[in-house]
C-alpha cells in the first residue's frame, strides 16, 4: 500500500498494515521549504502492529536530500535515514507512562496522519545547522566566539519543534 495521508489506527494495527512507497519531498510542505531542491523522492517503509501488547508504528524513511547550507546558502547533498519506532498511545496518561521507554505518539479519534508523522520524523532528523563542507572548514578554523556568534545569527525553523519534543521527553 502506498503512503496514505491518514490511516485508521485500530484496523491498521489489527491487520498489521504495511505502507511502502515513495513520497515526493515536494508534497511535504514544511520539509520542502527547508530544502534547496525539493525534487527528491523519499523511500518510506512503515508497518503498524503490536509489540508486547502495545500498538506500534515502525520502519524506515530514506532519501537523498538537498539541504541549504545555513552559511553560504548553497545546495548541500545530505543522506536521510530515519528509524521510526513510535508507540501509538490513546490517552495522555499512557503517553506520560511511555515517555521513559519509547517515543509515544498520541492518537486522536483512532486516526493517524501518516504523511504528517513521516514529515515530523524527517524534520527531527535534519541537522540543526546544515553547513556544506567548505563552510564547515571555515567555521572550524574560526575562534570559538565567532562560532557562537554564527549560531546566534542562524535561527533554525525546526529548533522550536526539537525543543518542544525535547521537553516532552523529560
Ligand atoms: Zn556553505
Is residue 101 situated within a structural domain? Answer: yes
Distance 109 CA to ligand 1 centre (A): 44
Is residue 68 situated within a structural domain? Answer: yes
Residues 94-120 as b or e (16 or more Cβ within 10 Å = b): bbeebeeebbbbebeeeebebbebbbb
Is residue 2 situated within a structural domain? Answer: no
- pLDDT of 168 strictly over 60: no
Residue 42's alpha-carbon distances to 51, 52, 143, in angstroms, are: 26, 30, 38
Model pLDDT for residues 24-82, shown as the tens digit of each residue = 999 999 999 999 999 999 999 999 999 888 999 999 999 999 999 999 999 999 999 99
Distance 107 CA to ligand 1 centre (A): 40
Total domains in the chain come to 1
Distance 125 CA to ligand 1 centre (A): 20
Distance 41 CA to ligand 1 centre (A): 23
CB hemisphere CA count around 98 (13 angstroms): 19
Model pLDDT for residues 124-136, shown as the tens digit of each residue = 999 999 999 999 9
Is residue 1 situated within a structural domain? Answer: no
Is residue 112 situated within a structural domain? Answer: yes
CA angle 3–107–83, rounded 5-degree value: 50
Model pLDDT for residues 106-153, shown as the tens digit of each residue = 999 999 999 999 999 999 999 999 999 999 998 888 877 766 666 666
- Residue span of the structural domain in which 79 resides: 7-169
Amino acid at each position: 500500500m502506498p503512503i496514505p495521508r491518514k490511516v485508521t489506527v485500530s484496523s491498521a494495527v489489527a491487520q498489521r498494515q504495511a505502507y511502502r512507497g515513495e513520497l515526493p519531498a515536494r508534497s511535504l510542505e514544511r520539509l520542502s521549504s527547508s530544502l534547496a531542491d525539493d525534487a527528491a523522492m523519499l523511500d518510506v517503509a512503515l508497518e503498524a502492529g503490536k509489540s508486547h501488547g502495545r500498538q506500534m508504528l515502525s520502519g524506515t524513511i530514506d532519501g537523498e536530500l538537498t539541504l541549504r547550507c545555513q552559511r553560504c546558502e548553497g545546495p548541500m547533498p545530505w543522506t536521510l535515514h530515519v528509524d521510526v519506532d513510535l508507540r501509538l498511545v490513546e490517552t495522555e496518561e499512557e503517553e506520560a507512562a511511555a515517555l521513559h521507554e519509547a517515543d509515544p505518539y498520541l492518537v486522536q479519534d483512532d486516526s493517524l496522519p501518516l504523511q504528517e508523522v513521516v514529515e515530523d520524523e524527517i524534520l527531527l532528523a535534519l541537522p540543526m545547522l546544515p553547513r556544506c563542507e567548505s563552510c564547515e572548514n571555515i567555521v572550524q578554523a574560526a575562534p570559538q566566539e565567532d562560532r557562537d556568534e554564527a549560531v546566534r545569527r542562524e535561527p533554525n525553523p525546526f529548533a522550536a519543534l526539537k525543543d518542544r519534543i525535547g521537553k516532552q521527553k523529560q
